[in-house]
Structure 1
Amino acid sequence: MSLKDNIDMVKEELNSEEKFFEKAVITERFVKKYKNLMIITVASIILVVGANIAYNANEQSKITAANVALIKLQNDAGDLDALNELKSLSPNLYDVWIFSKAVADKDIETIKKLKNSKALIIDDLVKYELANDAVSLNEYASKQDAIFRDLALLQSAVLLLNENKIEEAHNKLLKISQESPLSNLAKSLIHYGIK
């Protein structure tokens, strides 16, 4: 190797070291400039993740406690402490429990109290349970999202058949969905029913 090659090699090494130090200085300036922002961002992320974990743990413990209260009520329906605990932990599950007991006991007054329940389907089931004549059954069945729509139509048709309103009854039975398990019964009533 010649002296010129050695000098070129040393220059290249110095240039690469110079570039490395230049990048280090730029990085250091960036970190100094945005240090507080980076610390706040990392702390915020840790805080949000921690709060989310704590919230989920709290919700899970509420669900577990509500299920324990429900099991106590299933074993002893008269346990007022478990009933109050269920009401405070899960109002929707409380409404479901009260509704199921009211239906089993045929307690119409309690069912009426649940008319505006916020539980997922209790409001709809209450309206169905309280429908006891052709008009209220028709009103219930006219709702597009009624759970027992086809059953309400069938009951309404039977009431109309009992009143000798055959044509109206047949019209109700024809409204029952073909996919419904009640469609065969509706067809039978149309076919074998009074004409």
Structure 2
Amino acid sequence: MSLKENINMVKEELNSEEKFFEKAVMTEKFVKKYKNVMIASVVAVVLVVGANFAYNMNEEGKVLAANEALSKLYSNPSDSAALSELKRLSPDLHDVWLYSQAIANNDTAALNSLKNSNAMIVSDLAKYELAGDPAALEEYASKQNAIYRDLALVKSAVMLLNENKVDKAKAVLSKVSAESSLNELVSVLKHYGVN
């Protein structure tokens, strides 16, 4: 190797080291400038993850305690302490329990109190159970999100048939949706009961 080549090689090494140090200085300036922002971001991420973990653990504890209270109620339905604990931990599950007990005991007063439940399904089912005449069943079926819409219409039509109101029963049966699983029953009722 010649002296000229050695000098060029040393220059290249110095240039690369100079670039390396230049990048290191720029990085150091960036870190100094945004150090607080980076630390705050890391702390915020740690706090969010920690809060999420604590929230999930709390919710899991609530679910386990609500299940325990429900288990106590299954073994002793008159346990008022377990009932109040269930209401505190899970108001929707509390309403489901009350609904199941109202149905089991044929308690219309309890069903009336559940008509305005925050648990939408419980509220809807209570309204269906309380509809005892054709007009009430049709009113229930006219609600947009009625769970037992088609069943209420068929039940109303059967009641109307029992009252010999064949034309009105036929009109009610025509409201049952075409996709309903009750269509076979509707066909039978139309054929045998509504001629």
Q: How far off its partner does 1:173 sit?
A: 1.5
Deviating 4+ runs (over 3 angstroms)? none
- List aligned pairs for 1:104-183, cutoff 5 A: 104-183=104-183
Normalization by structure 2: what TM-score?
Answer: 0.96
Query: What do the CA deviations read for 1:113-154 (whole angstroms, capped 9, x no partner)?
Result: 111111130111111111111111111111222111111101
- List aligned pairs for 1:1-150, cutoff 5 A: 1-150=1-150
Tell me how far apart the structure 2 counterparts of residues 144 and 86 of structure 1 sit (CA, whole Å). Answer: 31
Query: Secondary structure in 2 aligned to 1:121?
Result: helix
RMSD of aligned residue pairs (Cα, Å): 1.1
What 5-or-longer segments of structure 2 have no aligned partner? none
What 5-or-longer segments of structure 1 have no aligned partner? none
Q: How far off its partner does 1:180 sit?
A: 2.5
Count the aligned residue pairs.
195
Query: What do the CA deviations read for 1:44-88 (whole angstroms, capped 9, x no partner)?
Result: 000000000100110011011101111111111111111111011
Query: Secondary structure in 1 aligned to 2:120?
Result: coil
Give the % identical residues: 62
Moved more, 23-32 or 183-192: 183-192
Query: What do the CA deviations read for 1:160-193 (whole angstroms, capped 9, x no partner)?
Result: 1122211110121122233323222221111111
Tell me how far apart the structure 2 counterparts of residues 128 and 26 of structure 1 sit (CA, whole Å). Answer: 73
Q: How far off its partner does 1:11 sit?
A: 0.6
